[in-house]
Amino acid sequence: MNNQNTSQGQRVIVANTEGGVGMAAAAQVLMAGGRGLDAIEAGIRPVELDPTVRSVGVGGWPNLLGEVELDALIMDGRSLKSGAVGALQGFLHPISVARQVMEQLPHVFLVGEGAARFAAEIGAEAGENRTDESRQQWAEWLARYVPADLIAAWPNVPLAPWARLTADPERAGGTTTFLVRDANADIAAGTSTCGWAMKYPGRLGDSPVIGAGGYADNRYGAAACTGHGELSIRAGTARSVVLYMKMGMTVQEACHEAADDLRRLVREFPAALTIHAIDASGAAYVVAIGKEPGTGWYWYWAEGMPSAEKRDAVEMQW
């Protein structure tokens, strides 16, 4: 695997580790002259349908109630328009619902029942995101951690004590993030996730929060985060990276500055956060903070490459 890329002025896709299954579709859109926003959707939709990606869409980890609540955002760096959905249940493609929030509504963010209502109104694909495997793992998790008398009363018990267990990095996270620069030099960002495994119902991470989990501005670049989203919400990480580039930093410097902001946050559990970023020319930089050494990598494709390849992230400890 190569290290960071500094290719200039071309069609580029940067996706996180979970994005592999969507890279070819996203690249195809760009090579056909399509828009970055369409490439984002084309790239994320296959990830949402892949049951082996346990942190996104079908097969995603359930919350404490055994429900799969999905979050997504999309942002257009040309218009600075964005759309997002949070805690959406019963639909297969939160990224496409987020896109339509952006295209059709005077709002930028819908959650819960309102998001599901809107998804139904626009004819979004309804479907079951739980799989036999995820149902079984939820039941096994309960049996492992929760006393039998509480399981018998579940979910009519206080859930808060059990939400803390979701901070276990072994099972906490995952998301897919795509950053794209198209043939018009338009930049876009997209994310999709089920959030933390066994999260408290209604919990939103950074992934649907514009400025935390993703941000794009044609003039400077784009950023998207994976990992413990509570941290990037608190630090406004994706927006910070783009703002630091506006202030004159390179994409690398901007990521390091944002990592420095994250380090100032008081953390109550072991946490990791990966920042993916591109600048306006498409130069990419990815930094993984607090991950197991050797586990930080991402997908990279630029025009001229026959297919996407894995690249090493720069790794940092807290």
Residues 6+ away with beta carbon under 8 Å from 48:
56, 57, 58, 92, 93, 94, 95, 176, 192
Determine the size of the site formed for ligand ASP (CB under 6 A). 13
**Smallest gap from residue 304 Cβ to ligand ASP (A):** 30
**Which of 17, 52, 166, 175 is flagged as catalytic?**
175
Residues 6+ away with beta carbon under 8 Å from 309:
1, 2, 299, 300, 301
> According to the binding rule CB under 6 A, does residue 63 interact with ligand ASP?
no
Which residues 190-209 are close enough to bind ligand ASP by CB under 6 A? 193, 195-196, 205-207
> According to the binding rule CB under 6 A, does residue 290 interact with ligand ASP?
no
**Smallest gap from residue 42 Cβ to ligand ASP (A):** 21
Length of the chain: 318
Over the window 214 to 253, marking each residue x when it contacts ligand ASP by CB under 6 A and - when it does not, the resulting string is: ------------xxxx------------------------
Looking at 64-189, list the stretches that DSSP marks H as alpha helix, in order from N- to C-terminal side. Answer: 94-104, 112-121, 132-145, 148-153, 160-163
For residue 45, give the H/E element and its range. helix 36-49
User: Token pair for residue 310?
Assistant: 């894995």
Contact 72, 207 (CB under 8 A): yes
Segment interacting with ligand ASP (CB under 6 A) among 22-30, 74-82, 116-124, 189-197: 189-197
Segment interacting with ligand ASP (CB under 6 A) among 4-12, 23-31, 159-167, 168-176: 168-176
Percent helix, strand and coil across the chain, each to the nearest 5 = 35, 25, 40
Active site residue 175: yes
Pairing state between β 284-289 and 297-302: unpaired
> According to the binding rule CB under 6 A, does residue 57 interact with ligand ASP?
no
**Smallest gap from residue 228 Cβ to ligand ASP (A):** 6
Could you give the residue numbers annotated as active site? 175
The residue ranges that bind ligand ASP (CB under 6 A) are 173-175, 193, 195-196, 205-207, 226-229
